[in-house]
Chain A
Amino acid sequence: MHEYSLANALAEQVRDIARQHSATAVTEVVVAAGPLAGVEPLLLASAFEQVATDELLYKARLIIEQVPLTIHCDMCESDSELKEFAFRCPHCAADATRVVGGDALILRHVVLCQPETEGTPA
């Protein structure tokens, strides 16, 4: 169950961002995960719920977007979305392809709550 490790890393990253922006709370956390991210969305959501219990994170809603598995071919310079785990280039059959999307858990954006700054009219 490595989703706990990922949820911990995610929570830590979100807390850092919240502190940098002097936020009092985080209301939304949006991540993207593809077929090769090694993430089961239900397990990640439940793990995040269990680690995000502090004052900054307990209100945060986790939204997990699915993104396609995308490879780049170094021979013909094309990008292709894969439906199956077959990594030869669908255009030129070259072996030398790189995964450029869908193999990681990406933190896309967060929504923060901030107190009114000084000087802002009430």
Chain B
Amino acid sequence: MTTQVIVVERDVLAKARTSAEEFRRERTAAGTLVVNLVSSPGAGKTSLLQATARYWQGKRKVAVLVGDLATDRDAQRLAPLVEVVQMTTGGACHLELPLVERAFQRLCEPAVDFLFVENVGNLVCPASFDLGEHLRVVLLSVTEGDDKPAKYPKMFRTSHALVISKTDLLPHVPFSVAAAAADAHDIQPQLPVLPLCAITGDGIADWCQFLEDQRHKMLVHQA
């Protein structure tokens, strides 16, 4: 027997990233902006999607792929508004591209303007996995505390926008939007910060405009 050292120097997730690039390219060509929504459990991802779908009802084509460990409750909440496919992950703490691709195949009308992927509620594991999204948006609800960006740097570093949700509760909780934004900007200096409340509708117009702008950039960049 002989031994041989093989030098590799390759990212372990490089293969997965190549597949994600391909999915992203295909969606770009179809004019679909893919948004990966990440947050802790209960930060309001589904409520935000309900408010977004209502705002765009009849104006923009939207579909949602929603991931949860168990139940299809989020899908049930969204189904009256948009086409939605539930991904039940069993025990998995994050989504990976093959799950997203399989769910995407099940959409009746995949050629939408905006495809949202609602990730499993978790600020740790989903940070490592490219789902072929154009935008990763992290939600932080004011009841969670403004220290989350500093505690979960990878998630905030890899996100393209920060939504601060449940702003109607600001008078009742010790949460500083400025402090959360400052910590987030240490990690990602150019991160856009979008405060909103899905229940009252405050900030939803700005959020939707932000997404429209991002989709416009994608289309122009592609052309």
List which A30-72 residues lie within 8 A (CB) of chain B. 31, 36, 38
- Given the known inter-chain contacts A5-B129, A6-B128, please indicate yes or no for A108 contacting B187, CB distance below 8 A: no
Is the CB–CB distance between B8 and A108 below 8 Å?
A: yes
Q: Within the complex, which residue of A2, A6, A23 is in contact with B93, where a contact is CB–CB below 8 Å? A: A2
Q: How far is the CB of B109 from chain A (nearest CB, A)?
A: 31
Q: How far is the CB of B136 from chain A (nearest CB, A)?
A: 14
Q: Within the complex, which residue of A23, A27, A38, A104 is in contact with B11, where a contact is CB–CB below 8 Å? A: A104
User: Nearest CB to that of B127 among chain A residues?
Assistant: A38
Dominant secondary structure of chain A at its interface with chain B: mixed
Is the CB–CB distance between B1 and A115 below 8 Å?
A: yes
Is the CB–CB distance between A13 and B188 below 8 Å?
A: no
User: Quick check: which of B150-158, B198-206, B211-219 contacts chain A, the rest being far away?
Assistant: B150-158
Is the CB–CB distance between B186 and A107 below 8 Å?
A: no
Contact with B along A1-28 (1 / 0, CB 8 A): 1100110011001000100010110010
Q: How far is the CB of B93 from chain A (nearest CB, A)?
A: 6
Contacts of A118 in B (CB 8 A): none
Is the CB–CB distance between B127 and A112 below 8 Å?
A: no
Is the CB–CB distance between B94 and A106 below 8 Å?
A: no
Residues of B that sit less than 8 Å from A by CB: 1-13, 15-16, 93-94, 96, 124-125, 127-129, 150, 153-154, 157, 186-190
Residues of A that sit less than 8 Å from B by CB: 1-2, 5-6, 9-10, 13, 17, 21, 23-24, 27, 31, 36, 38, 85-88, 95-97, 99, 103-116
Interface pairs A-B: 3 shortest CB-CB? A95-B189, A2-B125, A85-B153
Q: Please, could you name 8 A-B residue pairs with CB atoms under 8 Å apart, sorted by A?
A: A13-B15, A87-B186, A87-B189, A108-B9, A110-B6, A112-B4, A112-B6, A116-B1
